[in-house]
Structure 1
Amino acid sequence: MPIRIDRFENGPNDVLDLKAGTQPHIVLTFLATNNEQAFTQTEIHEATDIPRGSVGVVLSRLEDRGLVRHHGRYWAIGDDERLASYAAQQAASSASTTDDYYGESDE
């Protein structure tokens, strides 16, 4: 989709798209859902099906914004309070699709 030339010339150089379905969103959601663990890039690649070569770039961009952190080879969701809230929301969303609240299906 084209953008206006003034946005092209005056907009930020490195915009990170966090819309649902984008690679940054998928990685952030995965790490937030698993906020008690840290993962290697290979493990993130295997869990998300994001191409191996893209995982490092995505993680670097997320780290630049303070959304993830890493030590050595391992990456985890960032420490920010907003991210803790995001992680809790993701966990609650995951749990609601796997709990027994609605009972057995008749199908």
Structure 2
Amino acid sequence: MPIDIEQFESSSEDRLQGGGETNAERVMRFLAAHPDKAFTQSEIRDATGVKTGSISVVLSRLEDRELVRHKGTYWALGDDEDVAAYTSLLESTRAANDRFGEEDMDEWLEHAVDEEESE
């Protein structure tokens, strides 16, 4: 699927790999599509295309944020309230990026206030 040149120019390389989704977004999208099921790590990896070396880290970070639950060898979508807050933030960020373009960290750092210099 082609993207416009503005999105190409303003997006980071990481964002452009894998259709613009992060590994966490892929996992959350997959689990959200199956809220009534729990999956093993390998089932989630196979369904999302997240690399073998990354899936456990992604799931652990999502669990730390209470976006997924873990019991034994199975993983499931987290509580509704936490997932709804995450989804709202994700959609807001996507809308802002679509409208204004993604932030360029180097450009942001050029204008950031250095705490040591401001004292």
Classify the TM-score, shorter chain: 0.5 to 0.7
Task: Please say if residues 67 and 82 of structure 2, whose CA atoms lie closer than 8 Å, have aligned partners that are also in contact.
Answer: no
Q: Deviations over 1:54-73 (max 9, x none)?
A: 11000000000110001000
Specify whether residues 34 and 84 from structure 1 end up closer, same or farther in structure 2 by C-alpha distance, changes over 3 A only: farther
Q: Secondary structure at the match of 2:26?
A: helix
TM superposition score normalised by structure 2: 0.52
Greater per-residue helix proportion: 2
Q: Identity rate of aligned residues, in percent?
A: 54
* Runs (4+) off by over 3 Å: none
| 1:29-40 → structure 2 map (5 Å cutoff) | 29-40=29-40
CA shift, 1:52, in A, is 1.2
CA shift, 1:82, in A, is 4.5
Structure 2: gaps of 5 or more residues? 1-11, 13-19, 88-119
Aligned pair count?
68
TM superposition score normalised by structure 1: 0.58
Structure 1: gaps of 5 or more residues? 2-19, 87-107
Q: Deviations over 1:42-62 (max 9, x none)?
A: 000110111111110000000
How large is the Cα RMSD of the aligned pairs? 1.9
CA shift, 1:80, in A, is 3.5
Counterparts of 1:21 and 1:68 in 2: how far apart (Å)? Answer: 18
Counterparts of 2:57 and 2:26 in 1: how far apart (Å)? Answer: 13
